[in-house]
Structure 1
């Protein structure tokens, strides 16, 4: 299951290079602020707030993408499939003509994850607003996945708590959990086979979280490669060319 050098704002409105601050320039600003308390008229507080604002926009966009219809199902990178240990069972079921049932099970898992993803944004935003200036500068100067790692550390527990009941409810509506438990409880009795986790809710929650952090990492990568999309006065001041 699967650091904002600068979460400058991911792909919301791209601006030209002449209109935006490069990452290298932003790092220099942050270094200047760290040394002297100001840089090009910026204060440490403004840089910290700018980073938080940029990160908030990025994670909201990522959560919105995954919570939309086909946000999981239509994205090959995060689509939830049957676990590897169940794939032999899947092949046998399909060979026996149960393609629709297997396909319906996969759709139900992904729809459940999409439903749960709707609760992700406020949890991410809470983690970001609670971030200290030290945390913000640590992310700014950290490795390529500093923001993702930070959010994973701060939000895995509350995301799990929020996702689990939603996923459980979604799966129960279509009878997926009951079918899964009955099927694999019997399958797991067969000797000398790799056992399948009978807890479908736990499996889908786990995969949904993995997909969510994958998407956060994708937004972070975009931000690192692209200049800031200066959509607010603060971001224009923090990330704009001086």
Structure 2
């Protein structure tokens, strides 16, 4: 028997074992894959909004709490030593309260993104990485959400007289390269950090689903993600 035929024979003998190694998601229909991904998207959006869109949702959560950017954060202790500690705390509180106020407004756009997801999107996201569902939201909603959050954040920070002072100091800091230029405007900075927090919390929920789909109590999530 030639070497080629021997190799072919070994391949045939190994075929049952190779087929057994196929991921079980291959047996999930495209329709179920899309339904499972939509359920995961909805669950992630609901969890993120519930956790962040309330008092202390940002301020009380170290993972998403908004601090001053770049080297301005390092100057906080100096300001406190100069007797301006309360002003700094007022500004930080206002920044986080503005983010908390903006997050609930994300629900309609997130819901629209879920509805727009195609069956092909669902299959691709199911096979993707641990944060592929979250990245779908980022691609579809980050830019429009930024435009939607900005006026809410602006309205919330207008109540703080320190906002203008922040912009003046941050503008100089950006000119010196101490912070990023896009962080020199308080409203834009808080808007960006609010979105970072939103997508971070969605990603956390996605990881929970992928790690323990049975624990979600959802039949479709168990069926679709259970074999990953």
- Fold match (TM-score > 0.5): yes
Q: 136, 155, 162: which is aligned to 1:169?
A: 155
Q: In the TM superposition, what is the alpha-carbon distance from 1:239 to its structure 2 partner?
A: 5.5
Q: CA 1:91 to 1:77, structure 2 compared with 1: closer, same or farther past 3 Å?
A: same
Q: Does 1:137 align with 2:123?
A: yes
Secondary structure, in 3 states, of the residue corresponding to 2:129?
Answer: coil
The equivalences for 1:68-83 within 5 A come to 68-83=54-69
Q: How many residues align?
A: 201
Between the aligned partners of 2:222 and 2:92, the Cα distance in structure 1 is: 47
Q: Does 1:230 align with 2:212?
A: no
Give CA-to-partner distance per residue, 1:45-67, whole Å, 9 cap, x none. Answer: 24422331232122111111111
Q: In the TM superposition, what is the alpha-carbon distance from 1:184 to its structure 2 partner?
A: 4.0
CA contact (8 A) 1:116 1:163 kept: yes
Greater fraction helix: 2
Between the aligned partners of 1:174 and 1:208, the Cα distance in structure 2 is: 18
Q: Does 1:104 align with 2:90?
A: yes
CA contact (8 A) 2:40 2:221 kept: no
Q: Does 1:154 align with 2:140?
A: yes
Partner of 2:10: none
Between the aligned partners of 2:66 and 2:133, the Cα distance in structure 1 is: 24
Between the aligned partners of 2:77 and 2:194, the Cα distance in structure 1 is: 24
Q: CA 1:230 to 1:82, structure 2 compared with 1: closer, same or farther past 3 Å?
A: same
Q: CA 1:112 to 1:192, structure 2 compared with 1: closer, same or farther past 3 Å?
A: closer
Q: CA 1:188 to 1:141, structure 2 compared with 1: closer, same or farther past 3 Å?
A: closer
TM-score scaled by length of structure 1: 0.74
Partner of 1:90: 76
Provide the alpha-carbon RMSD of the alignment: 2.6
CA contact (8 A) 1:69 1:114 kept: yes
Secondary structure, in 3 states, of the residue corresponding to 2:64?
Answer: coil
Q: In the TM superposition, what is the alpha-carbon distance from 1:183 to its structure 2 partner?
A: 3.9
TM-score scaled by length of structure 2: 0.78
Q: 176, 187, 204: which is aligned to 1:218?
A: 204
Q: CA 1:52 to 1:178, structure 2 compared with 1: closer, same or farther past 3 Å?
A: same
Between the aligned partners of 2:145 and 2:225, the Cα distance in structure 1 is: 34
Q: In the TM superposition, what is the alpha-carbon distance from 1:210 to its structure 2 partner?
A: 1.0
Q: 23, 26, 33: which is aligned to 1:31?
A: 26
CA contact (8 A) 1:108 1:176 kept: no
**In terms of Rg, which structure is larger?**
2
